[in-house]
Amino acid sequence: MDRVYISELEIEAIIGIYEWEREKKQTISIDVEMGWDNRPASAEDDISKALDYKSVAKRIIGFVESSEFLLVETLAEEIAGIVITEFLVPWLRLRVSKPGAVTGSKDVGVVIERTAKGFDQS
């Protein structure tokens, strides 16, 4: 399966379990790889048959900016559900991280892989 990706999408959001994290937005960094068959789009050089990564990015940005989750795990699951159900992506790998959250580390976070199976796409 081909993959379309968005790398290092940085978004400001309220996230975390500590009181100070509930008061000040932090940077969230997101990488998403999405399974997609690029052959129809490339065969006809037709954007309407491609996965619109700009629309995916805008949807993720809007969602994350308005969210206030405690856990990056919850945020990751919610983003995965949006991408799979709204953009009909059959598979994704998603990395959600909080840069600088742990002293001495570049970032911390989660990586999840999900398929359309298990998500209601009605």
Catalytic residue numbers, as ranges: 98
Structure tokens at 109: 């976070």
Where helices occur in 32-71 by DSSP H, the ranges are 39-44, 53-66
Q: Residue 74: is it exposed, middle or buried by C-beta count within 10 angstroms (0-12/13-18/19+)?
A: middle
Burial call 56-68: b when 16+ CB within 10 Å, e when fewer: beebbbebbeebe
* Residue 91 to residue 21: CA distance in whole angstroms: 31
Q: CA 121, 45, 47, 11 torsion: positive or negative?
A: positive
